[in-house]
Amino acid sequence: MRIGPFTLTAPLALAPMAGVTDRPFRLLCRSLGAGIAASEMVTADVRLWHTAKSRHRMDHRGEPEPRVVQIAGGEPAMMAEAARRNAELGAQIIDINMGCPAKKVCNRAAGSALLRDESLVAAILDAVVRAVDVPVTLKIRTGWDTEHRNGPRIARLAESLGVQALAVHGRTRADHYQGPAEYATIRAIKESVRIPVFANGDIDSGAKARAVLEETGADAVMIGRAAQGRPWIFREIRHFLTSGRELPPPVHAEVRDIMLAHLEQLYAFYGEHAGVRVARKHLGWYRAAAMPDHQSHRDELIAVTSADALFREMRVAESAVVQLTLARAWLEAAVGDGSIAGGHEEPEPDAGTPTGDRSRPRAKVA
Ligand SMILES: Cc1cc2nc3c(=O)[nH]c(=O)nc-3n(C[C@H](O)[C@H](O)[C@H](O)COP(=O)(O)O)c2cc1C
């Protein structure tokens, strides 16, 4: 699949997620099979770019091509200026956010709130496409609400104005995240345009990815929440799409290595104080992904297992060295007490690029 001059290594995108898809997480997902990964949204208001938050969001040093920066805003001239500046700073694709229902963005008539004002959508797309030489892509929802699924019209407008790819989340703005994603409108959008379309919403396995590709006719899939705590989902989907078979989940030693390396990257990127705090939510996701059926006891006074107790301590650790030590101990204890099940299958020869010790028991993490 191509976007402008870039051929993606896989038809798999990491969805932009504010507060999640920072540079360390994007690099991790790309190394585990994602073909493209957009930044967390950057406000189009350049007056706010001096903040640590914006600086981190615009940092894509060391990332493989194509480097995608997502911008959010509701004023065409500001969006054009933001696009121009990000392209100067090294963005190779500018992605426009018209998919986010977050109040902070929508209160300023940005994100998915724009979908009900098609002339403003046109003005923004036209201004941004004209402002930069790099490809411009657009992320939308299927419409404003279930009575106004204007996604196909927005898609045709975008294509006519020079947008080079679309990502479509199969919910309306009014749906927020409720109910299952629907794919019929994504199919209608795909049939309305010739530019590549990413199908997005509730994709959490290779089998689901294949089913959504078949149902929508989309060129690629985009994965958001299912990658939290499970960045290896990209190589699992990739494997399924190419072989039709499930890739066995990573052995627990590999999970440990990925998780600890991720923590180190967060400390390096944010500094120790902020890095430890950002890491806490990722640790919660690693745990939720590793133990999908496990009741969380972290808010109770008595921990049920020693792994629970270690997890609770890890969640309040203040320093990198303590957090790392407890993360390692938690995973070992969880494997030891059986709350992360061991498996026995050997990995298939084309099973991606393992970083861990395959001789150890396999953790059931999927
Ligand atoms: C925590 C969080 C933050 C998000 N931030 C953004 C964002 O900055 N820009 C955007 O276009 N979409 C954002 N989204 C929406 C996702 O990109 C995606 O469309 C949505 O989660 C549905 O995909 P999924 O079911 O695979 O998670 C966010 C979603 C979540 C859960």
Q: How do residues 154-181 score in pLDDT, each as one tens digit?
A: 999 999 999 999 999 999 998 999 999 9
Catalytic residue among 14, 32, 72, 100: 100
pLDDT tens, position by position, 113-135: 888 899 999 999 999 999 999 99
- CA 68 to centroid of ligand 1, rounded, Å: 15
Pocket of ligand 1 (CB under 6 A): 15-20, 40-41, 70, 97, 99-100, 139, 169, 200-203, 223-226
Q: Report yes or no on whether pTM surpasses 0.85.
A: yes
Q: Give the chain's radius of gyration (CA, Å).
A: 21
Mutate which of 168, 169, 197 for ligand 1? The one with the most ligand atoms within 8 Å of its CB, which is 169
What is the CA 269 to chain-centroid distance, rounded?
Answer: 18
Residue nearest to atom 5 of ligand 1 (CA): 17
Atom of ligand 1 nearest to the CA of 203: 26
Tell me, in angstroms, the distance from the centre of ligand 1 to residue 39's CA: 11
- The string of pLDDT tens digits covering residues 32-56 is 999 999 999 999 988 889 888 888 8
What pLDDT was estimated at residue 357?
36
Peptide bond between residue 101 and the one before it cis (omega within 30 degrees of 0): no
Pairing of strands 2-3, 6-7: antiparallel
Mean pLDDT of the chain: 89
29 is catalytic: no
| Rounded distance between C-alpha atoms, residue 357 and residue 258, angstroms | 12
Domains for the chain: give ranges and CATH numbers: 2-243 (3.20.20.70), 252-342 (no CATH)
| Mean pLDDT of all residues in 139-161 | 96
Q: Is the pLDDT of residue 303 over 70?
A: no
Which residue's CA lies nearest to atom 13 of ligand 1? 17
**Distance, CA of 81 to CA of 161 (rounded, Å):** 18
- Report the candidate in 164, 184, 181, 159 with the shortest Cα–Cα distance to residue 172: 181
Residue 233 belongs to what H/E stretch?
helix 233-243
Q: 100 — phi, psi (to 5°)? A: -90, 130
- Closest atom of ligand 1 to 202 CA is 25
Q: What is the pLDDT of residue 296?
A: 54
Residues contacting residue 140 through CB under 8 Å, at least 6 positions apart = 98, 99, 112, 115, 151, 154, 155, 166, 167, 168, 169
| Separation of CA 100 and ligand 1 centre (Å) | 7
Ligand 1: which residue has its CA nearest to atom 19? 169
Backbone torsion region of residue 229, taken as left when φ is above 0, otherwise alpha when ψ lies between -120 and 50, otherwise beta: left
For 18-74, strand residue ranges (E) read 36-37, 42-43, 68-72
pLDDT tens by residue, 211-267:
999 999 999 999 999 999 999 999 999 999 999 999 998 998 999 999 999 999 999
The dihedral sign for the CA sequence 307, 313, 315, 318: negative
Sign of CA dihedral 263, 279, 307, 256: negative
Q: Which of 34, 33, 41 is nearest to 16 (CA)?
A: 41
Residue in 100, 138, 212, 230 to alter for ligand 1 test, most ligand atoms within 8 A of Cβ: 100
- Span from the CA of 322 to the centroid of ligand 1 (angstroms): 31
Q: What is the mean pLDDT of residues 85-102?
A: 91
**Distance (Å) from CA 199 to ligand 1 centroid:** 13
